Amino acid sequence: MRRLLVIIPLLLGAATTVAACGGSSSTSASSASTSSTAAAAAAPTVTIDTFMFQPNHVAVARGTSVHFVDHDAINHSVTAGVRGAPTPDVFDHVLPGKDATFDLTLTQPGTYHYFCKFHPGSGMEGEIVVS
């Protein structure tokens, strides 16, 4: 997890949409808004389309499922961690081809990075912030 946390500031700087997600850390308190609460309340769907997780950043309350749908006609995976430092013990699920689905429910607050272990393209990475 320490290595994952190092990456967070980079992502915060790279994507302005991340700011809307707020977060549980005290450093982001100034960016908290009512919209972050609304985003965390819904059960989001992440689609996999042409080797991309979309959206690649979602925020949920603990216990709220994130629904993954594979629109590609090939296998993809939702594997915890980052490509250079996977943590498949946290979660590691293969979506076996077109229209395969997977519901991921995380009960511990934190930022969870994930990636597809089959395809090292930049689009096959994402993160889930659990509050």
Binding residues for Cu ion (CB under 5 A): 76, 116, 118-119, 124
What's the min distance (Å) between Cβ of 69 and Cu ion?
A: 13
What's the min distance (Å) between Cβ of 48 and Cu ion?
A: 7
- Please tell me what DSSP assigns to residue 122: T
What's the min distance (Å) between Cβ of 95 and Cu ion?
A: 8
CA distances from 11 to 16, 18, 98 (A): 9, 8, 30
| Tokens matching residue 97 | 């081809």
Nearer to Cu ion, 97 or 109 (CB): 97
Cβ-proximal residues to 104 (8 Å cutoff; 6+ apart), any chain = 65, 66, 68, 78, 91, 93, 128
Nearest residue relative to Cu ion (C-beta): 116
Nearer to Cu ion, 15 or 118 (CB): 118
